[in-house]
Amino acid sequence: MSFVTVNNVSVKGIGACVPTQVYNNLSYQHVTEPERELFIKTTGIKERRVADAQTSTSDMCFEPAKQLIDKLQWDKSEIDVVIMVTQSPDYFIPGSAVILQDRLGLKKSCLAFDINLGCSGYVYGLYVLSNLLSSGQLKKGLLLVGDKSTVSTSYTDKSAYPLFGDAGSATALEFEEKANTMYFNLSSDGSGKDAIIIEHGGSRHGIQDDTFDLVDIEPGVQRAKRHLKLDGIDIFNFALREVPANVNELYNASQKNMSDTNYFVFHQANKLINESVRKKLKITDTTKVPYSINQFGNTSSASIPLTMITELTEQLSNHRQTLCLCGFGVGYSWGSAIIDFDKIVCLPLIEI
């Protein structure tokens, strides 16, 4: 267990962005209509948002970041840190955070760097940024989290193509003395790297003669080595084995009670996995576990802030709320956090 706490930092606002293009999984012609209906029933994913060729991950993070700065009336010269969490950066190099530092008009002394994480990325990103701010030497920071996952899936791969949607987000954090403590429990297990992986395109295998050749894997699954592949059974077993234990450890170490938590916002993996995790945690009040997956699919690291914006805006904007956030997946990497949100700014969902 990697249980850590952060003091003197508060979340001031959150925004999220999705493409305007809606893809309905009932229209997925690669599989039969009964298969489509079963997929939607099992995963809970009816619709997804898919970015066009001209829209990048940083575009989907730029809009909420820009609007959040304006809404909070932040002086751009006071923003000291920009962290971008993504596994679909605009370019191999340079990093997307540096591009957004310039595009947002932030000062040159602003720290800007990327973190290569997927489904656990929002929780990890919150820890990294809040930890940088907690001493008070840096005052304000932006956490930009998102992915354009659809560029990495094969239309002829029924195990991955209908799962993923595209989204970006921005979260504003600020040094604030005596802010309520944030609690984190972060974990990783690289032995599970092959469960969710894109084999070609990096420095291990690069681009080879067969990188883009479609290969028949099993009925209904045809993809290339540059496409994302996932092992659904291994992922399901990993989630049930590690996620409930991680959350329980977090509550035990923090000496907090789950009954005092207003909402549990989990990474939107799929309905079957998430409901299994909920039941194993013995969370019987289903209204405490919001879902956005039916409208947006699995949006990787952006799924937690996207769910907060689309499902909890009224509560977060008007009331003090204690949330348990939990991200888990590719890596394997997973983590959970208990964080208090005190009437924060929640932007309306942005569409581009």
Q: Which residue has the tokens 């956030």?
A: 325
Tell me the three state secondary structure of residue 132.
helix
**Strands 79-85 and 140-147, bridge-based pairing:** parallel
What superfamily in CATH does domain 1-352 come from? Thiolase/Chalcone synthase (3.40.47.10)
Rounded CA separation 299/29 (Å): 22
Rounded CA separation 227/93 (Å): 20
Count other C-beta atoms under 10 Å from residue 197's C-beta: 14
Question: Residue 167 forms beta bridges with which residues?
Answer: 147
Count other C-beta atoms under 10 Å from residue 342's C-beta: 14
Question: What tens-digit pLDDT sequence spans the chain (352 residues)?
Answer: 699 999 999 999 999 999 999 999 999 999 999 999 999 999 999 999 999 999 999 999 999 999 999 999 999 999 999 999 999 999 999 999 999 999 999 999 999 999 999 999 999 999 999 999 999 999 999 999 999 999 999 999 999 999 999 999 999 999 999 999 999 999 999 999 999 999 999 999 999 999 999 999 999 999 999 999 999 999 999 999 999 999 999 999 999 999 999 999 999 999 999 999 999 999 999 999 999 999 999 999 999 999 999 999 999 999 999 999 999 999 999 999 999 999 999 999 999 9
Question: Residue 169 forms beta bridges with which residues?
Answer: 16, 145
Rounded CA separation 126/14 (Å): 12
| CA-closest candidate to residue 163, choices 172, 173, 153 | 153
* Exposure class string for 115-154: b at 16+ Cβ within 10 A, else e: bebbbbbbbbbbbbbbebbbeeebebbbbbbbbbbbbbbb
Q: What is the chain's length?
A: 352
Q: Which residue has the tokens 């489904």?
A: 119
CA angle, 221 then 218 then 30, to 5°: 35
| CA-closest candidate to residue 145, choices 116, 174, 185 | 116
Q: pTM higher than 0.85, yes or no?
A: yes
